[in-house]
Structure 1
Amino acid sequence: MSEMSSIQDSLQSKLDQLECHFTWGIKKEDLVLMDILNRLEEQAKMGLGGEQGVARTHCSLGYVKFLLGRNEEVFTHLLKSETLIKENLGVNCDKTLIVTYGNFAWINYHMKNYTECESYLMKLQKINETCSSEPSSVSEMLGEKGWAYLKFSRKYYDKAIEVFQKAVELDPENSEWNAGYAKALFRTETGTLCTVDSPAIKQLERAIEIDPDDDASRVLLGVKLLFCSKKLMKDSEKLIETALNGSPEHPHVIRYVGKFFRNQGSVDRSIALLKKALEKSPNSGFIHHQLAMCYKTMKINLQKEKREVNRFEINIARKQCIYYLEKATSLKASFVIAMSELALQYGEKRDLPKAEELFAQTFKTAREKNDSLHVVHYYYAEFQQYSKRREDLAIRHYTECLKMSPHTSEGDRSAKKLKNIAQRYMKDDPGDWKANEILGLIYQIKGEMFGDTKSYAATSGNEEDDESLSNLCEINLKI
């Protein structure tokens, strides 16, 4: 073995034991790098999270630049991170430098700067000697690790929860770790799992208790309460209003306030807020997607009016919806949910070949990324049911969605669609085998019993949800 190989092996062994982005299992294939780059650069530019938050952002940017092959730019971000930490914390900064120095050691190793790599390993060794615990149990490191998992990919949300929970246990009064823990729980609680005493709601309340100025957590709490129970409308509105008054320029606050108003029915107000947010974050796929959903809601509302003269308005709303979805998917190449919605809108517009092509691409992306495949099945089922009038294929894909994710919102909606289809079959023939097969499947997966055929037919109703009505109206009007 050559002397150089021996040095490399010795360094590699030490590097593998570090706590930093290079050792946290954040894989390039799980990431949409340009989307992450845009978001992190936006956060650094706007100074979100104060000096400590910006320092963490630059540390993460260094790792993203490494994954993009821009190794020389990595040092710029890591130096900025180190400078901000030292300026902010002074002599008490050692523990906060663990991740930054770990990244420094790794990038120098990759650049074959072995002397510099060894230098950073020695700095970390000195920090370790002053710590009363291992680096893996230092709250400052755990907090930064949690934020990295939260910002890089939804695939790491469960890891973010685990890490933030440990950080909060070690430092219960730390506002940043409590806020991160709350946000991670918020993002993972979906569908029927939401209750007014859910872990996310309790943790959001805790984050606000520790930091009364945390308007980002306040707006999430407002959205969450309304989602869980319409009876909490006044509480939700008060939280939303307080957050908006306290942080009228904060992009995260504006985004979720816009979503709140859309869900509440104030579409015009939501559009105004989201467009304001877009001025500050023009590369945000999230904001473009939310604007598209506003115009979709506007289109649905216009269709329900069933006025002959409003077809022009419907057409404009649909065009705006498609425009913002196309922008969202161009900014974030693997935005599966936006891609699915865009394909569905192409179907409504009667551009069936284009819709089929995009759905094929979306299925491929979802499978490659192992991301939201159940969502694609749901949208494709709607496309088959309302645009192509292939109810057999619709049933197949609603069923696939239900089997994959029974407790998500798409799983719930798939169950509802299947129930409605079964009920129509049973009107003609109460003993219809296909209808009973569908109901049996729903019972098997979700544990819901409907009683006998007559009681089910009497209680289930034959009303589709608003979204389905809009799809049906769209086809019938042939706009």
Structure 2
Amino acid sequence: MDHDTVLKIKLDQLECHFTWALIKDDLDLPSVLNRLDEQLKLDYDKKETLARTYNALAYVKFLQGFLEETLSSLMTSVQLYKECHEEEFHKALIVTYGNLAWINYHMKNYTECESYLQKVQKINKNFSSESLSVPEVIGEKGWTFLKFSRKYYERAKECFKKALDLKPEDGELNAGYAIALYRTEYEEFTIENSTVIKQLRRAIETNPDDDVLKVLLAIRLSKYKRKKYREADSLVDEAIERSPDHPHVMRYAGKFFRYRGCVDRGIALLTKALEYSPNSSLTHHQLALCYKRKKIQLLQEGNHHARSSRVQQIRDQIIFHLEMATTHAPCFITAISDLALHYGEQCEIPRAEEMFQMIFKTAKEKNDNLHVVHFYYAEFQLYCNRREALAIKHYMECLKIHQDSPEGQKSARGLRKIAWKRIYKNTQDGEAYGILGFIHKEKGEKSQAVECYEKALSYGDNDEYLTILCALRLSIHK
């Protein structure tokens, strides 16, 4: 083998951003850059965390083709790690040295490349272990997956779990695992059985000063309504009092107050968070959701004529913040889908339809959040176009793809509402019972599905229902 091939084999064995399968097409680079820039501001006094962020920033710069900026960010990371550990061969430097070996390879600085390879080898030898068995390395990998794309959240969860097996008392690893669970676990549990709540409590024990974790726990507790409102309210009040200017605390607290129905307080906090991070797509999106809740509250009040202009003012705010969210994160599929729906509400049907077709294409190409687009398109068809059959079709597609997601749960509710409305009008509506059967089938509730499909068949001849019913009966008796 020639020298270049041997070098490449060694590089491929490293644990660093260049070998973690961070695919450019999976990433919304402007959004990632905004998040990393925000993190640099937040962690200005935490050198080790800053070093990790500069590592991630370097790889984004590499993906953008800025090799010199990549190198500069990595050298900053090295300096920060050395200020923390005062040694050249500390295990915290494994990832940074690996990245430096790779960037020097791409810049054809082969002597420098080999020098950094040797540094990684020396660290591994000093600790008598491979890089993949070092909790600091696995943890940095987990944080990278969390920061780069929602498509990597499951991989992040696996990394933090593995790292905690090696270092169970580590505060950062416990926090990372808690956040990964918060972002991936949607199933309904009792408070006692919720893995997310258990891990958030554990993370707070090991990070008593982390006020973001407290608000995340409060948001999860608020799902259990009045049972846990007192504890949730107390956690949020404490977090805001301790960290009144932390944008993440303000953003999550804004989300919490929206859940609690205190929309104006949520809007006030989120508006304050925007002063700190005006380019935050997530904060703009949360503001749009608060104004959506405010719009719903207003529509539920009386005197339609008096409220119509106010509803339009609120709708303008929703559209403004959704447009800002999608400007700063061009691949923010949820925000784009919601924006298209609101254009539909404004009777801009062709514009909405064009946007939906564009986002369907993007979601399919990226294999990302297709179920979300189906949900919003179903809402668009039902409430803007009044085409119930198309709404049913797309609610079903959402449910088939990701039934446990918030959009999947909303799709199930939408389908039930349509079905029962039809049954109320006509107790012998076979298609309505077919819809209910579909929901039970997707949820794995086979006996209930059989009962509904039997009713559907009794009120009309449908070969598709018969096929499904036979398959269900067969699976039950196996």
TM-score by length of 2: 0.91
Residue in structure 2 matched with residue 110 of structure 1 by the alignment:
106
Q: How many residues align?
A: 450
Q: Which has the higher contact order (CA 8 A, sep 6+)?
A: 1
Q: Distance in 1 between matches of 2:112 and 2:256?
A: 50
What residue number does 1:387 align with? 384
Q: Which residue of 2 aligns with 1:476?
A: none
The answer to whether 1:94 aligns with 2:94 is no
Match 1:69 to one of 56, 65, 70 = 65
Give the partner amino acid of 2:289: M
Query: Which residue does 2:241 correspond to in 1?
Result: 245
In the TM superposition, residue 132 of structure 1 has moved relative to its aligned partner by 2.5
- 1:201 corresponds to which residue? 197
Residue 300 of structure 2 aligns to a residue in which SS?
A: helix
Residues 1:352 and 2:354 aligned together: no
Structure 2 CA distance for aligned equivalents of residues 89 and 421 of structure 1? 62
Aligned partners of 1:101 and 1:120 also within 8 Å: yes
Aligned CA distance change for structure 1 residues 196 and 377 (closer, same or farther; 3 Å): farther
Whether the 8 Å CA contact 2:437–2:449 is kept in 1: the answer is no
How far does residue 427 in structure 1 lie from its aligned partner after superposition? Answer: 2.6
CA distance in 2, matches of 1:268, 1:173: 39
Structure 2 CA distance for partners of 1:70 and 1:203, relative to 1, 3 Å: same
8 Å CA contact retained: 2:284, 2:322:
yes
The separation in 1 between residues aligned to 2:175 and 2:21, in whole angstroms, is 23
Shift in Å at residue 439 of structure 1? 1.6
Aligned partner of 2:380: which letter? F
Give yes or no for contact 2:40–2:50 (8 Å, CA) kept in 1.
yes
> Which of 401, 406, 429 is the aligned partner of 1:404?
401
What does residue 434 of structure 2 align with?
437
Q: CA deviation at 1:301?
A: 1.0
> Which residue of 1 is the match for residue 262 of structure 2?
266
Distance 1:34 1:63 in 2: 13
Which segment drifts farther, 413-422 or 205-214? 413-422
1:163 is aligned to 159
Distance apart, 1:251 and its partner CA: 1.4
Q: 1:261 to 1:196 in 2, by over 3 A?
A: farther
Counterpart amino acid of residue 361 in structure 1: M
Say if 1:262 and 1:196 are closer, same or farther in 2 by CA, change over 3 A.
farther
Q: 1:430 is paired with a residue of what secondary structure?
A: coil
Q: Is the 8 A contact 1:216 1:253 kept in 2?
A: yes
Instruction: In structure 2, list runs of 5 or more residues that go unmatched.
Output: 456-478
Going from structure 1 to structure 2, the CA distance change for 1:195 and 1:145 (only over 3 Å counts) comes to same
Q: Match for residue 473 of structure 1?
A: none
Mapped contact 2:438–2:449 kept (Cα < 8 A) = no
* Equivalence for 2:54: 58
**Partner Cα distance (2:206, 2:400) in 1:** 41
Shift, 1:299, TM fit: 1.1
Q: For residues 109-157 of structure 1, what are the alpha-carbon distances to aligned partners after superposition, in whole Å with 9 as ceiling and x for unaligned?
A: 0000000001101111111110132111001111111100111111111
- In structure 1, how many angstroms separate the alpha carbons of the residues matched to 2:207 and 2:328? 34
Contact 1:55 1:84 in 2 (8 A): yes
Report the CA distance between 1:195 and its aligned residue.
4.5
What is the Cα-based RMSD across aligned positions, in Å? 1.8
Q: Is the contact between residue 346 and residue 352 of structure 1 (CA under 8 Å) also seen in structure 2?
A: yes
The answer on 1:422 being equivalent to 2:432 is no
> 1:467 corresponds to which residue?
none
Q: Following superposition of structure 1 onto structure 2, how do residues 107-186 of structure 1 map, counting pairs within 5 Å?
A: 107-186=103-182
Contact 1:192 1:408 in 2 (8 A): no
Structure-2 residue corresponding to 1:16: 12
Aligned position for 1:471: none
Q: TM-score, normalised by structure 1?
A: 0.91
The one-letter code of the counterpart of 1:178 is: N
Question: In 1, are the aligned partners of 2:222 and 2:259 still within 8 Å (CA)?
Answer: no
* 1: CA distance, partners of 2:89 / 2:316: 52
- Give the % identical residues: 53
Q: Which residue is equivalent to 2:461?
A: none
What CA deviation, in whole Å up to 9, does each residue of 1:49-104 have, x standing for no partner? 82111110001001110000000101111111111111112238610000000000
C-alpha separation in 2, matches of 1:451 and 1:24: 46
Match of 1:378 in 2: 375
- List alignment gaps of at least 5 residues for structure 1: 457-479
Letter aligned with residue 266 of structure 1: C
Q: Is 420-429 or 274-283 further displaced after alignment?
A: 420-429
2-structure distance, mates of 1:262, 1:278: 17
